[in-house]
């Protein structure tokens, strides 16, 4: 029998080297609103429109942007307002306009303070004076000097005796008489309005105009409560909690959320 040929030794395979881990390349942060990047013509028109009405959605559409609908316009306008360069340009435009017309924070605050503190009696008063019987002889009806002369002529013309009654010299500005049998000391009330041509600067601040109302001429005032609220906000005396009603669609809110998430990366 033939002997079997010896088996050749099998060479051992070299151990496989572990695969090198792929290192994820880090994305360079995206720089937004670079100082050396000017605003686009549409963005500049948006700024010009916004400082007129302070309505972001309206300014967005008037500037020339073409959103699909109002919800999209509102979302995109909100994004545009949040851009630092756009916000800075709006602030710059507002300061420039205020400086041009001579407006300052001090003047605005003074105007609100005038409205909150002015004595409204300077513009309109409820005065209580005497009645016709307070100072008449025996508390009879008293005439003014002009009424006395008129009634005397009428009596002479008609050939009648002139009745002097309570005499002459009635002046409604005199105070009521406590023991008057006619008004019992309460007098007669009347409304007196100031000549608006001669108002002080403080009174002019609170004066909001005149109108013919149901009971005659009415004088309007700017709100004292609102003025005090604005002064408090300016001086940071309290913190406002604002409730904003969301009127955008679900798709609009989802899109806005995605945009905010991308901006945070």
| pLDDT band at residue 243 using 50, 70 and 90 as cut-offs | very low
pLDDT category, 134, cuts 50, 70, 90? very high
* 161-166: long-range pairs with CB below 8 Å, 24+: 164/137, 165/136, 165/137, 165/140, 165/141, 166/132, 166/133, 166/135, 166/136, 166/137, 166/138, 166/139, 166/140, 166/141, 166/142
Ordered structural domains, the chain, with CATH: 41-103 (1.10.10.1400), 104-123+198-242 (no CATH), 124-193 (no CATH)
The encoded tokens of residue 92 equal 């710059």
**62 pLDDT exceeds 60?**
yes
> Pseudo-torsion of CA 113, 119, 124, 128, nearest 10°?
160
Backbone angles phi, psi at 178, to 5 degrees: -60, -35
Q: How confident is the model at residue 192 (pLDDT cuts 50, 70, 90)?
A: very high
Report d(CA 43, CA 86) in Å as an integer.
7
Is the pLDDT at 197 greater than 70? The verdict is yes
Give tens-digit pLDDT for 207-222: 999 988 888 889 999 9
Task: Report which of residues 26 and 161 the model is more confident about.
Answer: 161
Taking only Cα atoms into account, the Rg of the chain, rounded to an integer number of angstroms, comes to 42
pLDDT higher than 60, residue 9 = no
Q: How confident is the model at residue 43 (pLDDT cuts 50, 70, 90)?
A: very high
């Amino acid at each position: 029998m033939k002997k079997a040929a010896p088996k050749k030794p099998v060479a051992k395979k070299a151990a496989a080297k572990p695969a090198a881990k792929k290192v994820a390349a880090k994305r360079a942060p995206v720089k937004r609103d670079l100082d050396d990047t000017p605003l686009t013509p549409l963005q500049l028109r948006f700024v010009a429109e916004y400082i007129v009405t302070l309505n972001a959605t309206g300014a967005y559409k008037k500037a020339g942007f073409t959103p699909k609908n109002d919800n999209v316009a509102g979302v995109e306008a909100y994004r545009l307002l949040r851009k630092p360069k756009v916000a800075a340009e709006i602030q710059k435009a507002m300061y420039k306009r205020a400086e041009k017309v001579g407006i300052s924070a001090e003047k605005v605050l003074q105007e609100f303070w005038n409205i909150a503190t002015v004595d409204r009696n300077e513009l309109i008063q409820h005065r209580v004076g005497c009645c016709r019987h307070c100072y008449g002889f025996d508390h009879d009806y008293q005439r003014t000097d002009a009424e006395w002369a008129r009634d005397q002529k009428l009596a002479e013309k008609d050939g009648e005796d002139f009745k002097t009654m309570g005499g002459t010299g009635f002046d409604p500005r005199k105070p009521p008489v406590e023991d008057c049998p006619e008004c019992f000391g309460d007098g007669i009330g009347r409304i007196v309005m100031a000549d608006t041509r001669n108002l002080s600067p403080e009174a002019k601040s609170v004066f909001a105009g005149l109108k013919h109302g149901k009971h005659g001429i009415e004088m309007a005032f700017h709100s004292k409560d609102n003025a005090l609220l604005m002064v408090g906000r300016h001086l940071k005396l309290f913190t406002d909690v604002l409730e904003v009603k969301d009127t955008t669609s679900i798709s609009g809110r989802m899109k806005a959320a995605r945009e905010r998430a991308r901006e945070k990366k």
